[in-house]
Amino acid sequence: MDGQMIEKQRFPSPNPHINVFLVTYLSQGLKVKGFLAEPKAEGTYDGFLYLRGGIKNVGKVRLARITQFAAEGFVVMAPFYRGNQGGEGNEDFVGEDRYDALAAFRLLQAHPKVVRERIHVFGFSRGGAMALYTAILERSVCSVVVWGGVSDIELTYWERLDLRKMMKRVIGGTPTKYPNRYKWRTPLYDIEYIEAPVLIIHGEQDRNVSIEHAHRLERRLKETGKRVTTWYFPHFTHYFPPKENRETVRRLAEWMKRQ
């Protein structure tokens, strides 16, 4: 069953107050791996689905990052996506691998320390599109945060010359030749199905994922009458300076808990 945890191994944690586990769970019959981080203190917590960017070894889940969120009072699940770090299948860049995110959401729903109705979804970079699809497919998502997030896969193809070879290989061709394959991976076309409030965080100097992705997402959310909040940072790139990064994490955690 999707989201069923079939293996859980203790993993060294960079934070003495957070337990970290390497878990294996099922997604469409595949064994997918990920990190689970949970506060040691007794009690129940909001769930936090962390969806990374990149593909394969680029943009791997960083323990320091997920324990940073867990320390804000969340049980955090961070899937590696299919085919990565010992998992089965092949990652396909917001294709079928979106179901790995959805299955990880199911895993959080079954977690004994998670309040089932209080699970948030966070996506960074390419993970932004994954987060939006999770909220499109699962109406009970409590809130969505898209940080430096991709919202239009075709736009990514035209903007990122360095990713074109990978995208043609994974998706099967160019947007000109296979427009529907790119459209199917672009959550903007299904935004009307989102019911959760969305927070968009983006640096206006971002050269990895242009601010245009944020603007297109904001526009579509507003056109469809959805709840949207934007935090745009005029001087920041894809990666925020450490101090501002910590402050933004704290602020977004507070925002989530108000939803």
Active site residues: 125, 238
**Beta-bridge mates of residue 31:** 26
Q: CA geometry: angle at 225 spanning 220 and 230, to 5°?
A: 60
Burial profile 38-58: b = 16 or more Cβ within 10 angstroms, e = fewer: bbeeeeebbbbbbbbbbbbee
Residue with tokens 């997920």: 66
Which one-letter DSSP state was computed for residue 36?
E
Using DSSP bridges, classify how beta strands 30-39 and 18-27 pair: parallel, antiparallel or unpaired.
antiparallel
Which one-letter DSSP state was computed for residue 154?
H
Structure tokens of 129? Answer: 């599109």
105 neighbors 119 (Cβ within 8 angstroms): yes
CA atoms of 252 and 256, how far apart (whole Å)? 6
170 neighbors 55 (Cβ within 8 angstroms): yes
Which is nearest to 149 in space by CA: 89, 200, 93, 97?
A: 200
Using DSSP bridges, classify how beta strands 228-233 and 198-203 pair: parallel, antiparallel or unpaired.
parallel
Residues sharing a CB contact under 8 Å with residue 174, sequence separation 6 or more, in sequence order = 157, 164, 168
